[in-house]
Structure 1
Amino acid sequence: MVDSDRVLVPTLGRPREDEALAYALETFPDAAITLLAVVTPLDAPLSEGGILERSEERTERARTSAADLLESVGDPTAAERVRVETAEGRPRTVVPQYASDADVDHVVMYGHGSDTRGFVRRFLGRGVATTVVERTSRPVTVLE
């Protein structure tokens, strides 16, 4: 196994991302881990008035969701080893760029699993995980 000091775990608000964080905590016990909550501009839900939610509100919701994810892992050392960051943009662009800028050693993320949408994206070869693997010069572990 490659020794990694800095590990990036992107979170997109999808199910089972806690498994990627748990894997990173277990596999890289001495690493500093960044849980990156990616806020996709196109994911803004409509309010009752039909107005898009403000960027700050989506960012805060993503940060809260990532903090809840961190808490759900149940690792007593996680709070000391994991910091939560947010970034806005398309995950396919944001994750590789963040990995490069932050000089991380390894990226761990959850793939598509077996849901229908994931199957179609995997079949077409354009899922987020596939693109991150292609665009990142760092090792990437994709959990299914």
Structure 2
Amino acid sequence: MVDPDTVLVPTLGRPREDEALSYALETFPDANVTLLAVVTPIDAPMSEGGVLERAGERTHEARKRSARLLARIDESAADRVEIHSTAGRPGTVVPRYATDHDVDHVVMYGHDTHSSGLVTRFLGRGVATTVIERTPQPVTVLK
């Protein structure tokens, strides 16, 4: 496998997303990395909370969350990382962003692949599974 030039790391406000960023930077030391702060619509099943917050405030908070992740990494790698934000359901916007921006690889933290939990059974597939199914590029999901 050829090392990717561009790697996308979506952030959804979940614990341990810093591990996905660290993995991407360590595994692909020559790649440019985009942290994509995804703002889930309030009516989506996995809303990040703050039901009464305005969309602009939620976008700002998502970008701040990604900036905090970036602050935790080694400074020498920080110049390879950009932060972008988008609003929408992660299973839709992550594959679209990856395709529209010629991303070579996606790295994310997720726990729902091959899940048979009650929540997944009743609500359908989880985000990581949906991203894997809809993204033509390789996707690495850390558990």
In 1, the alpha carbon distance for the partners of 2:120 and 2:111 equals 8
Q: What residue number does 2:15 align with?
A: 15
* Conserved? CA contact 1:112–1:118, under 8 Å: no
**Structure 2, unaligned runs of 5 or more:** none
**Structure 1, unaligned runs of 5 or more:** 47-51
Count of equivalent residues:
135
Letter matched to residue 60 of structure 1: H
**Any runs of at least 4 consecutive aligned residues in structure 1 with deviations exceeding 3 A, and if so which?**
117-125
- Alpha-carbon RMSD across the aligned residues, in angstroms, is 2.0
Q: What residue number does 1:112 align with?
A: 111
- Structure 1 residues 70 and 54, CA gap change in structure 2 (3 angstroms): same
In 1, the alpha carbon distance for the partners of 2:75 and 2:83 equals 16
Q: What residue number does 2:33 align with?
A: 33
> Percent identity over the alignment?
65
Moved more, 37-46 or 100-109: 37-46
Q: Spell out the pairing of 1:1-144 with structure 2 (5 A cutoff).
A: 1-42=1-42, 43=47, 44-46=49-51, 52-72=52-72, 74-112=73-111, 119-120=117-118, 126-144=125-143
In 1, the alpha carbon distance for the partners of 2:116 and 2:53 equals 26
Moved more, 6-15 or 36-45: 36-45
Higher helix share: 1
Letter matched to residue 59 of structure 2: T
1:78 Cα deviation after fit: 2.7
In 1, the alpha carbon distance for the partners of 2:116 and 2:76 equals 32
Task: Look up the SS of the partner of 1:77 in the other structure.
Answer: helix
In 2, the alpha carbon distance for the partners of 1:26 and 1:120 equals 35
Residue by residue over 1:103-130, the C-alpha shift from the partner in whole angstroms, topping out at 9 and shown as x without a partner, is: 10000000127xxx99445667611000
